[in-house]
Amino acid sequence: MKALLALSAAVLLGGCSSAPKPEATAAPVPKGVGSIVRLDPALDALIPKDAIIEKVGGGFQFTEGPLWRPDGHLWFSDVTGNVVRSITPDGQVQVLIDKAGGETNAPPGSFIGPNAMIADKDGYVLLCQHTNRRIVRLDKDMKQTVYLDKFEGKKFNSPNDLLYKSDGALYFTDPPYGLLKQDDDPAKELKFNGVFRYANGKLTAVIRDLTRPNGIAFSPDEKTLYISNSDEKHKVWMKYDVNPNGTVSNGKVFADVTAGTEPGLPDGMKVDSLGNLYGSGPGGLWVFSPDGKHLGTIKPGETPANCGWADDGKTLYITATTGVYRIHLAVAGEKPLYQ
Task: Tell how strand 53-57 and strand 323-328 pair up.
Answer: antiparallel
Quote the pTM value.
Answer: 0.91
- Give the count of domains, the chain: 1
Picking from 330, 328, 273, 252, the residue whose alpha carbon sits closest to that of residue 43 is 330
Q: What is the pLDDT of residue 339?
A: 87
Q: Per the domain annotation, does 19 fall within a domain?
A: no
Predicted pLDDT at 127: 98
Neighbours of 267 (CB within 10 A): 24
Which residues lie closer than 8 Å to 187 by C-beta, 6 or more apart?
155, 179
Res. 146: pLDDT tops 70: yes
pLDDT in tens, 198-247: 999 999 999 999 999 999 999 999 999 999 999 999 999 999 999 999 99
208 assigned to some structural domain: yes
Q: What is the mean pLDDT of the chain?
A: 93
CATH of the domain at 187: 2.120.10.30
**Taking CA 304 as the corner, what is the angle to CA 298 and CA 305, rounded to the nearest 5 degrees?**
140
Contacts of 95 (CB under 8 A, 6+ apart): 83, 84, 85
8 A C-beta contact, residue 64 and residue 115: yes
pLDDT score of 25 more than 70: no
Whole-number Å distance between alpha carbons of 53 and 318:
10
- Is 169 inside a domain boundary? yes
217 domain-assigned: yes
Quick check: is 203 in a domain? Answer: yes
Question: Residue length, the chain?
Answer: 339
pLDDT at position 31 is 80
Q: Which residues pair with 290 in a beta bridge?
A: none
Domain range enclosing 96: 32-328
* Residue 295 in domain: yes
How high is the pLDDT of residue 82? 98
Residue 13 lies in a domain: no
pLDDT in tens, 167-177: 999 999 999 99
Q: Is the pLDDT of residue 12 over 80?
A: no
Predicted confidence at residue 61, as pLDDT, reads 98
Cβ pair 53, 298 in contact under 8 A:
yes
* Nearest residue to 171 via CA among 146, 144, 143, 204: 204
Q: Does residue 253 form part of some domain?
A: yes
What would the pLDDT profile of 73-118 be if each residue is shown by its tens digit? Answer: 999 999 999 999 999 999 999 999 999 999 999 999 999 999 999 9
